[in-house]
Amino acid sequence: MNKLFTYTLLPLLLLLSSCTKLDQEFYSQVTPETFFKSEKDILAALNRPFTHARWYLGEDRWQLQEQTADNFAITTKGPHWYNGGTNERFHYHTWTPDEGWIWGTWRGTLMGIALALDARSDLEKLDYTKFALTPEDQAAHVNQLNTLIAYFYLRGLDYFGGMPIFNNLEGENLPRNTDQEVFNHIEQLLKTAMTALPKKEGGQKEQGELKQAAAATMLAQLYFNAEAYIGKPMYAECQQLAQAIIDGQYGPYQLDPTWYGPHGFKNDGSPEIIWSIPSEFNKLQYDWFYSNFYHYNSREYFDQDMGADNGTHLSPSRRPDSSLYKNEWKLGSPFEKFDAVDLRKKPYHYLGSGNYEGMFLVGRQTKPDGGTILGTQEYKDRALALLDQVGRFSEVGAGKKYSAISQLPSKMSEGEENTGIRLVKVPIPTLAENTLRWGADNPAIRLTEVYYMLAECKWRSGDLAGAAELINTVRKRNFENGVDPNPVRADNLDKYRFLDEWSIEFLGEGRRRTDLIRWNMFTTETWWDHKASQSDHLKRFPVPTQAISGNNNLTQNPGY
């Protein structure tokens, strides 16, 4: 048997059980001491769990965070995207323990922990001096893995509450630990890592390594959401850490001077990136969202060759009659939450040489040369315009289902191919500059989040002016010459404005559900085609049926 066993068979074993005991003779012939021949082998083992993290940051985890909240939807578009009712169940908060997104997230969380533990076990056994490396290098590698383990547990705690805690791969059919025990485990891992990881050096590009500031920010995130996790507010602890990170105690980080710097093709050099997952065309590329987000013919808009499935879009800001949703609810309507002169609100256009503007596909869709892009379904051979509305406009007219637009229902089942504005947070070049495609790294943690965490902690302690100042420090980069037409002030920063600011800055970054839960609005508020459930058990997802069937020591979350 060789080391490949761990990396190929382990994920399969983890499908069957929460934590599965590996063959006890696994190391009888090949041990870490004999398998590792060079520094290259060490780095390969270290990086393997990070490739899993690359996948984990998107896909099902993103769906659970965004499709259950107020900013995105996957409407049924005629014969397309009913998806067995999955999209509606998550939008309406009627999911079950049998959902694929939930199973994929439970499984993926434990896989990530197991892969990192396995790599840590190997690297801890090595004599690094035999590879011209130092004990400090070994400590940095081991604590990168400890931080990654803490990251997976942090996400598992957020989604499910208590998870099985294991420190090696010897356990089998482990029960769930309590929320508090998982919280304490994460805290201990991160506190240890913060003292052993290296700091970022000035001007150093981000290449995916976890450094002191990443561990510190994860610990701040843990404290920031502690009230939701363990019923104990820890905003003061979060505030202290966030301030220290901003002050540079964990490395030199600064806000990027531009809104697109943290997301663009060269974002590995952005001064505000604290942890990113590297991406490169045809090499572990950051592209999972493309097919799901864009229209079948969006390739013509981007001047690209990639097809798409026309699924996810922004929740609508307008009724079918074009009037704004203003009085029905305060959440959602993400596109209209951007000020009209916000530089990000422009339609996305690639300008060449790695430059671009805007971050939305909205309105009439045209090719870079100005040519018209046509629809393929309801608007076949007709000009395609993406609307900030949901409704079957193609069924309005003489002899059709509806005689007037005023009769159109607007709900999850009533989309069509032009339904919804599409987000372009990750820039896409034209084919002429295709070497840049997927050149933007995935910014897993950026300093702006620390600013907003600090601002919210100040707000909760009564320092509304201090909170407003921090948010405005970020906001000004989104406007020409830094002139903000609607700055945050102490007298307009209520809980809804604060959630709007989180939405505007982090739209589509896979965190919205967590923010709504922290503000106690996930189950108590209404938004487009979603009624408040008033059911607190929905703040946690159920333990998947497949997990319980493979491990009868697992207990289900209350309410399921």
| DSSP labels, 448-479 | HHHHHHHHHHHHHTT-HHHHHHHHHHHHGGGS
What is the dihedral sign for C-alpha 535, 539, 540, 545? Answer: positive
In this structure, the chain runs to a length of: 560
In angstroms, the CA 258 to CA 339 distance is 17
Q: Is 351 exposed, middle or buried (0-12, 13-18, 19+ CB in 10 A)?
A: exposed
User: Is pLDDT of 18 > 70?
Assistant: no
The span from the CA of 419 to the CA of 402, in Å, is 18
Interval 505-515 mean pLDDT: 98
C-beta of residue 59 within 8 angstroms of C-beta of residue 522: no
Q: Which two tokens stand for residue 453?
A: 């965490």
Q: Is the pLDDT of residue 20 over 70?
A: no
Burial status of residue 75 (CB atoms within 10 A of its CB: 0-12, 13-18, 19 or more): buried
Tokens standing for residue 59: 């896909």
CB-CB contact of 450 with 246 (8 Å)? yes
Inform me whether the pLDDT recorded for 33 exceeds 80: no
Rounded to whole angstroms, how far apart are CA atoms 425 and 85? Answer: 27
Alpha-carbon distance of 374 to 381, in angstroms, equals: 5
Q: Which of 26-40, 128-142, 414-428, 508-522 has the lowest mean pLDDT?
A: 26-40
Residue 34 pLDDT class (50, 70, 90 cuts)? low
Whether the pLDDT of residue 555 is over 70: the answer is yes
User: H-type helices in 382-511, by residue range?
Assistant: 447-460, 464-475, 495-505
- Model pLDDT for residues 425-469, shown as the tens digit of each residue: 999 999 999 999 999 999 999 999 999 999 999 999 999 999 999
491: helix, strand or coil = coil
220: pLDDT strictly greater than 90: yes
Every domain of the chain and the residues it spans: 1-197+507-560, 288-437
**In this predicted structure, which of 168-172, 332-336, 417-421, 522-526 has the lowest mean pLDDT?**
168-172
Give the pLDDT band (50/70/90) at residue 359: very high
Q: What is the CATH number of domain 1-197+507-560?
A: 1.25.40.390
Q: What pLDDT, on a 0 to 100 scale, did the predictor assign at position 5?
A: 33
